Amino acid sequence: MTRNDPRNVPRREAARLVAGKGRYTDDIDAGDVGHIAFVRSPYPHARINRMNCDAARVAPGVIAVITADDLSAVCKPWETRLALLPTHLSPEQIPLARDEACWQGEAVVAIVATTRAQAEDACERVEIDWTELPAIADLDNAAAEDAPPVKSGMRNNLGLDHSINTGDPDAAFRDAATVVEHDFTFSRQTGVTLEPRTILASFDPRIRELVIQHSHQAPHQMREVFSAQLGLPLSAVRVVAPDVGGAFGMKLCAYPDEMAVAAIAVLLGRPVKFCADRLESFVSDNHAREARVRGRLAVDTDGKLLAMDVAVLSGFGAYASHPRGSAGEGLQAVHMIAAPYQLAHYRGRVRGYFQNKVPSGILRAVGQPLACTVTEQLLDLAARKIGLDPADFRRRNYADADDKPARSAAGIVLSQLSLRRCHDRLLALMDYDGLRRRQTELRGEKCYRGIGFAAFIEQTGVGSQLYGPQNVRVSAQEACRLTVEADGRVRCATSVTDQGQGTRTGLLQILAQELGVAPDTIEIVTGDTQVTPLGGGAWASRGIALGGEATLRAARRLKSNVLTIAGSLLQADPASLQLQGGVVCNAAGLAQMSLADIATIVSFRSHLVPLDDIPDLEVVESFAPRNTPYIAANGIQAAHVEVDPELGTIRVLDFWVVDDCGRVINPMLVDEQIRSGVVQGIGAALYEQCIYGADGQLENGSLADYLVPMAGEMPDIRIAHMETPTATTTLGARGVGEAGTVGAAAAIWTAVNDALAPFGATMTEQPFTPEHVLDRLAQADAGDQLRPT
């Protein structure tokens, strides 16, 4: 046994941690859940000189006071590594900070008490002697050669340096008829999920089993993580992620404070619970999107795209998100550039830096909104400069990947696209010509409206080629186990999880239609590693694209088994039989026997089945794309906005989306997924930002100051579809969960800048606050740009 093996924790050591009780943990009622609150660092970077927890230990209701030294007995440190990105090497992490805190909000001490209120009160009694250290918050400061390290022992703050070069961009820029360039600043955001992060951990020391109830997207991933860090066999760890109230990718990583909760359960041998409140969520939930981009675009005399050159600076925060890393945002920002368009020459570089801020991680669409915004805004600037209509300019440059697979200039795999069909449908849906005429009329009345477009590619159904080569233990497959119970009901255990997308409803529809049974006779079980087959869970728009495919394959196999058994009992050719309404019918459509009859015979009177080998009434199928890293979806969005140049305010009047997600299983669920993504994208463009001071302190860490889009501020979002079933799967469905978010912010950028075009002003920083709008108008005036007449 190693030092980190939980079996090495002496009983008396565990008893010492149970503050003021003077008894072993086994004497505590195992059903009495201890509530955890954390003492978090008030500084973005500080040395911990001394801690005094004596007063906290004797506070009312306190069960235990836990520090990093206590948890070192049961939890190993971890270091997030990506095999193909050696520069993305995160500092070593442990559940609670020891000696040094590296961001404002990092957990330092855990208090376990009878109630959450008592735990929070005890936190106030912990005395910590701090020495503030230099804090690196700004990206430029983090990148400086003489920058102090974000954490002691680091050589520098560089966490990623990755480049792409296709064709000869230098020659293309040199020979271009037109070149445009623009700077972009994207502010930090966070997920603001309806349900905050929550974890309930229970460890039974008698049988050495850990059960975790977790608000998370990937229970099988977390089973791997808890097993590895706590030194427990996989068979001794069960993770249950029931209905989760929103996630957006934010609930895909292993958070240090949640790791602490699991470790505390093992250490104390009793159930413990932590639920992040809204205030601490802002300084502990992963952030995302922080980036600065410089982009250039070269165009020929016919309005054809020639080359792009993009440089991205990406902010990682204090540590890389475990186990998937924090590089995804920046990598996607450079690789998804110009994905919907024909482009022969491209140069992209992304550099990511650690900072004394909340770690960054995954947020809905991961870097794709940044790439889409940069691409679409540069296209608009070029169209304006050469005098082409922005809609026509896009249409003549769309990628040709209707039938055979192709690659974008940055290496993105494209196949079976419908960009031109989506484009034409959108112009008709929005009455584009009429909107342009009305825009011109209103400008004569000093009313400034803008129309913006954003064509997009959405990476969906991601397979093993994303994390597998990086040696990250994240399952790429989705799986389905179907069982016909003795009463004829069907039980479906799926690896796909549900965070409000309605995935289970979609799977239910597939099963009911394929098996020929009523939906109310099907039970869907999800989110429990003990009863569901191994799979990745819901992320990267995989739920129906991959989970639905596995379900369809399982349903077809189970149906074949049922009809084979029925054929043997009825002395009929199975091919002449069919399942309808839970009943086996013959070729004439006459009912012969029910599914319950077959299940009863197989379960209890199998001797009546005249087959040497009776097919199973329980089947398991899994699916992951093998010949492509993902399944590409596509579409186009448009926004119609009005800008008040006197107040700097922006009103979104209308929004349209034409999306091609392949076969649509449930139109209502698909449309609402798109709408929710659009709202999230509008929030990014106009409202949401984590504001940090130069000292690394978060200045708006509450919902009173961090603005999110509200229903009254949102326009009608009109949606239409093209349906191009993907040839990658039998089901033909592509993902759709991130489509709205990929393009919405870009459509707002291009629409707002279209509205400001008469002033010669162009927005550069997201979100578009009234102050920023007025600043850009003032700078246009100062640059001798004429006010509109």
HEC sequence for 661-705: CECCCCHHHHHHHHHHHHHHHHHHHHCCCCCECCCCCECCCCCCC
For residue 237, the tally of other CB atoms under 10 A from its CB is: 23
- Cα(128)–Cα(107) distance, integer angstroms: 13
Contact 370, 186 (CB under 8 A): yes
> Of 585, 580, 553, nearest to 567 (Cα)?
585
Q: Residues of 478-497 as b/e, b for ≥16 C-beta within 10 angstroms?
A: bbbbbbbbeebbbebbbbbb
> Of 297, 475, 281, nearest to 374 (Cα)?
297
Distance of CA 410 to the CA centre of its chain: 22
pLDDT at 27: 40
Q: Which residues of the chain have pLDDT under 50?
A: 1-28, 30, 785-789
- Tell me the pTM: 0.94
Owner of token pair 């009173």: 704
Residues in the chain: 789
- Cα(497)–Cα(509) distance, integer angstroms: 16
pLDDT at 29: 52
Within 13 Å, how many C-alpha atoms sit on residue 641's CB side? 33
- Max intra-chain CA distance, the chain: 93
**Joined tokens for residue 275:** 């639920």
**CB neighbour list of residue 319: distance below 8 Å, 6 or more residues apart:** 80, 90, 91, 93, 102, 326, 354, 359
- Cα(265)–Cα(352) distance, integer angstroms: 36
Contact 338, 305 (CB under 8 A): yes
Contact 549, 494 (CB under 8 A): no
Contact 66, 110 (CB under 8 A): yes
Using left for φ > 0, alpha for ψ between -120 and 50, and beta otherwise, residue 522 falls in: beta
pLDDT at 403: 67
Owner of token pair 């709408």: 675
> Of 117, 77, 114, nearest to 96 (Cα)?
77
pLDDT at 2: 37
